[in-house]
Structure 1
Amino acid sequence: MRYYRTERNGDARLLVVARDRAHDLTAVKPRLRSFRDLAAAADVADSSVDALAAALLDDAPVVEFSVVDLEVPVRAEEVWAAGVTYEISEQAREEESGMADVYLDVYDAERPEIFFKATPSRTVGPREAVGVRGDSDWNVPEPELGLVLYDGETVGYTVGNDVSSRAIEGENPLYLPQAKVYDRCCALGPCVVGAGGVDDPHDLGISMRIERDGETVFDDATSTAEMARTCEELAAYWRAHNAVPEMGVLLTGTSLVPEGEFTLQPGDSVRIDIEGIGELVNPVVEV
């Protein structure tokens, strides 16, 4: 099942797409206005989000919705991310940095790189603009599978864009927070797919297309099968010795990196598609 959050005239609704139709769960249970509300209710009922939603389907009215109504599908208190989990990401970090060994060491190490990415105020949803830093001349989108976690357990999956400054991180790895955490640095959407709706998160096609002035300037695809670590491993390291938030998102690593010194520009459009989840589309602005 796919879960969407819509808002029109201040009225937030939680929709679920099932049986090839969209159903309004909020109309049945007014307290279910977000995926977090559904995850919390499922936790109390010792159920899954999909099982709880399925029990409400017969009473939930069928509705129409537009992409312009879509909001961030899950309001995560914290968004974190894993780094150097794909070989292409390790190669890109080596390319940009004068201290390439640190990235190679992480790629081969037992402990993954886990870093803080965004707060709710820094996270945008479908069709909202992501930001590139005005003090950086080398900025890239990073398409990633996102784990949606409630009390540390994976309850769903979403599409993420970990927008980053390669120039700032490449200057010195200690500048990573400035390269990663800033206004509009993260996009999530267009929906959350319940954990039961993804047979194998390690075998999903991922594609990214970047358009500029009506032309495609980047277009490539890969698979989460190329990830060197498992989702379970990354989530376990995120939880370890850490007071995790009730609702969090963990991005699982950069699967595609534009070649050379390609940089995002204001006015670009980034399209990231993950098989079985959906397509996240965001324009680009300078912040």
Structure 2
Amino acid sequence: KAPVLASVGWGAEVGVHPNSAWNNPEPEVVLVCDPDGRTVGAALGNDVNLRDVEGRSALLLGKAKDNNASAAIGPFIRLFDAGFGMDDVRRAEVRLEVIGADGFVMDGSSNMALISRDPEELVRQAAGANHQYPDGFALYLGTMFAPVDDRGAPGLGFTHRVGDRVRVSSPKLGVLENVVTTSDKAPPWVFGVSALMRNLAQRGLLGASV
């Protein structure tokens, strides 16, 4: 969905490409996995999608999915323990609310029990002998939700407008809330791996044992 360190968190702006006229949020559960492909926790995610771009060609999937601020994760990572685990993910009901500055309101949900592939199978497909993630990874599991409410002219369906407030929620994973802007107006992504290394060096942490 996005390069390492490029996702945004709770309260940040999420971006849709300014050339897109048909786009939508995708409320999802996100699994957090260690370098060995073991799932250690879960969070909520919003996989902002450009439907008009994705629908033109599978070759444009990267353009449809990976734009500035188009991946949101939060509001926290809930680690697996005796009280919360993969079975809770499998049973999760993920709610989506969109509240527009124009008064438009949309409310929907995604039932994880209805997804076609088990979350553990998706993890196995993501990491293994053919593809490794030495620092671990966050895996969006997909959604059963597709917006059908018209926003504007009848039959044209839903699309985001700047200022939309998007809430993705689930009882055991909290509420992830973001406000929509365009990807060119969202704060630019500047904190990459080199910035992380400089930050750690400035704090004297590169020599610390991990």
The two structures share one fold, judged by TM-score above 0.5: yes
Return the match for 1:171 from 47, 56, 77. Answer: 56
2:143 matched to which residue of 1? 254
Q: Name the count of aligned residue pairs.
A: 171
**Is the 1:122–1:182 Cα contact (8 Å) retained in structure 2?**
no
Sequence identity, in percent? 34
Displacement after TM superposition at 1:157 (Å): 0.3
Equivalent residue, structure 2, for 1:233: 121
Measured against aligned partners, the alpha-carbon deviations of 1:114-153 in whole angstroms (never above 9, x if no partner) come to xxx1024531100000000011111111011100011121
Map Cα deviations across residues 42-67 of structure 1 (whole Å, 9 max, x no partner): xxxxxxxxxxxxxxxxxxxxxxxxxx
Query: Is 1:153 aligned to residue 38 of structure 2?
Result: yes
Q: C-alpha root-mean-square deviation of aligned residues, in Å?
A: 1.4
In structure 1, the residue corresponding to 2:143 is in which secondary structure? coil
- Rounded to whole Å, the distance in 1 between the matches of 2:107 and 2:66 is 26
- How many Å separate the matches in 2 of 1:261 and 1:216? 13
Q: 3-state DSSP class of the match of 2:69?
A: coil
Query: Secondary structure, in 3 states, of the residue corresponding to 2:11?
Result: coil
Residue identity in the other structure for 1:286:
T
Query: Equivalents in 1 of 2:78, 2:5: separation in Å?
Result: 23
Higher RCO (CA 8 Å, separation ≥ 6 residues)? 2
1:143 aligns with 2:31: no
Structure 1 stretches of 5 or more lacking a match?
1-116
Cα distance 1:134–1:205, how it changes in 2: closer, same or farther (>3 A)?
Answer: same
1:202-254 CA deviation, whole Å, 9 max, x = no partner?
10111000001273521012321111111110000001310224221000012
Q: Deviations over 1:27-54 (max 9, x none)?
A: xxxxxxxxxxxxxxxxxxxxxxxxxxxx
In the alignment, residue 114 of structure 2 is paired with which amino acid? E
Gaps of 5+ in 2: 149-155, 184-210
Q: Which residue of 1 aligns with 2:190?
A: none
Contact between 1:209 and 1:216, CA under 8 Å: does it hold in 2? no
Contact between 1:126 and 1:280, CA under 8 Å: does it hold in 2? yes
What TM-score do you get using the length of structure 2 for normalisation?
Answer: 0.77
As a proportion of its length, which structure holds more strand?
Answer: 1
The TM-score with structure 1 as length reference comes to 0.57
1:215 corresponds to = 103
8 Å contact from structure 1 (residues 147, 157) kept in 2: yes
Secondary structure of the 1:243 match is coil
Secondary structure at the aligned position of 1:167 is classed as: helix
- Structure 2 residue 91 is matched with structure 1 residue 206: no
Q: Distance in 1 between matches of 2:172 and 2:102?
A: 27
Question: Distance in 2 between the 1:148 and 1:121 partners?
Answer: 14
> Which one has a larger percent helix, Structure 1 or Structure 2?
1
Letter in 1 for 2:108: D
1:131 maps to 2:20: no
Inter-CA distance 214–167: structure 2 relative to 1 (3 Å threshold): closer
The one-letter code matched in structure 1 to 2:143 is: T
